[in-house]
């Protein structure tokens, strides 16, 4: 059995941020990542506050995407509302972001091993797919929306009509660039919503949160996209360029609104394993980075026993932004979303954008 002081399972933003901070603090962490060159299903929105955290981690935002997002446009049926974001943001693929963060972790002195699959967790010991085991004085669980046997989030968190995450990519084109340059679009519809933003290569990331009942009614993911295109004309315009055989990435049972409110010694839950904010808030990556940095700081000061009090503190930090994002999500997914958009006073979008950010 191998041993390490700090074992990090998952090499996305949360795990990599923890690795960087721990390595800079002299802890020599070991980070395990299953998909060394993967592109996680994610909206790819990096807010202004998340940009600040990335800069603190040594990541130049221009290496993610030189273009900035300054506007947000909301569509619900035939209703449209536009607003200026509080500060510039950017869109980026998770492949680009995760690659740069793991490189920064290596540069800081962390050990990073890719292509390693963890099957189960017992205490702070990871059982790998090849039969090997690695034990840590502390375990940093950063597997995103994917649960591991032994530490799975409660099934009740999914609800009776769980949410699915769906993603398609629109190929780069002059028309697409003209339509989306400088803005993120949010399309609201019955039992779901979609966010669209340009990524660093000029393609567009279309990421949806849809209740399972909506997909079951439509049939297949392709049928669902076709139905949404008919129901929401502007979304249909965006999806019109999608190839008939385009891949639809999916993840099931996303427990939006769930938080880990208690803790145990030696276990730091990070990112979506600490709390899952509704994706229309665009703060998932911000929460991931904040949790990784905060957990690493707690470990460097108090060691493995600091995990439980840190987890409770972090849950309290998540309470307000997640409650506000949850309320907005309930309105966005309802049949009253068009009326709510029409009645939205100027500046309210900016207020909501501020209110759903993680505080410093």
* Residue ranges in the chain modelled with pLDDT below 70: 338, 342, 346
Is the pTM higher than 0.85? The answer reads yes
Say which DSSP state 152 is in. Answer: P
Answer whether CATH 3.50.50.60 is correct for domain 2-157+255-355: yes
Residue 233, exposed/middle/buried by CB under 10 A (0-12, 13-18, 19+)? exposed
Where exactly are the structural domains of the chain?
A: 2-157+255-355
- Lookup: tokens for 178: 């003209």
Q: How far apart are CA 157 and CA 25, in angstroms?
A: 35
Look-up: residue for tokens 């375990």? 139
Q: How far apart are CA 272 and CA 36, in angstroms?
A: 19
Q: What is the pLDDT of residue 91?
A: 97
β pairing state of 249-254 and 204-211: unpaired
Residue 115, exposed/middle/buried by CB under 10 A (0-12, 13-18, 19+)? exposed
For residue 224, count other CB atoms closer than 10 A to its CB.
21
Distance, first Cα to last Cα, the chain:
39
Q: What is the pLDDT of residue 305?
A: 97
Q: What is the pLDDT of residue 346?
A: 64
3-state secondary structure of 196: strand
CB-CB contact of 10 with 141 (8 Å): yes
Angle of CA points 270, 273, 277, to nearest 5°: 100
For residue 145, count other CB atoms closer than 10 A to its CB.
19
For residue 251, count other CB atoms closer than 10 A to its CB.
16
The 10s digit of each residue's pLDDT in 113-137 is: 999 999 999 988 999 999 999 999 9
Angle of CA points 38, 279, 98, to nearest 5°: 25
- Give which of 218, 176, 217 is closest to 198, Cα–Cα: 176
Angle of CA points 346, 348, 353, to nearest 5°: 135
Q: What is the pLDDT of residue 97?
A: 97
């Amino acid at each position: 059995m191998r041993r390490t002081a700090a074992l990090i399972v998952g090499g996305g933003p949360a795990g990599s941020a923890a690795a960087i901070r721990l390595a800079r603090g002299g802890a020599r962490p070991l980070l395990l990542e299953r998909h060394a060159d993967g592109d996680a299903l994610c909206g790819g929105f990096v807010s202004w506050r998340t940009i600040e955290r990335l800069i603190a981690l040594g990541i130049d935002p221009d290496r993610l995407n030189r273009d900035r997002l300054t506007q947000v446009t909301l569509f619900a049926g035939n209703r449209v509302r536009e607003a200026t974001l509080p500060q510039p943001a950017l869109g980026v693929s998770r492949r680009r972001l995760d690659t740069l963060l793991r490189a920064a972790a290596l540069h800081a002195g962390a050990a990073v091993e890719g292509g390693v699959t963890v099957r189960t967790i017992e205490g702070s010991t990871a059982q790998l797919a090849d039969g090997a085991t690695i034990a840590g004085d502390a375990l940093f669980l950063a597997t995103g929306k994917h649960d591991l046997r032994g530490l799975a989030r409660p099934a009740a968190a999914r609800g009776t009509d769980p949410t699915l995450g769906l993603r398609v990519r629109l190929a780069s084109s002059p028309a697409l660039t003209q339509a989306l340059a400088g803005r993120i679009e949010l399309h609201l519809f019955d039992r779901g919503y979609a966010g669209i933003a340009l990524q660093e290569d000029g393609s567009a990331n279309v990421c949806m949160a849809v209740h399972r009942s909506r997909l079951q009614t439509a049939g297949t993911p392709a049928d669902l996209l076709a139905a949404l295109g008919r129901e929401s004309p502007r979304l249909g315009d965006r999806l019109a360029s999608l190839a008939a055989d385009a891949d639809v990435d999916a993840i099931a049972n996303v427990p939006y609104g769930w938080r880990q409110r208690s803790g145990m010694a030696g276990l730091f839950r990070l990112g979506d394993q600490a709390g899952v904010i509704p994706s229309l808030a665009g703060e998932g990556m911000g929460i991931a980075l904040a949790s990784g940095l905060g957990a690493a700081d707690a470990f460097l000061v108090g060691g493995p026993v600091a995990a439980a009090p840190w987890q409770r503190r972090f849950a309290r930090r998540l309470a307000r932004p997640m409650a506000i994002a949850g309320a907005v999500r309930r309105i966005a997914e309802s049949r009253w979303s068009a009326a709510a958009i029409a009645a939205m006073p100027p500046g309210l979008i900016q207020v909501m954008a501020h209110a759903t950010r993680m505080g410093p």
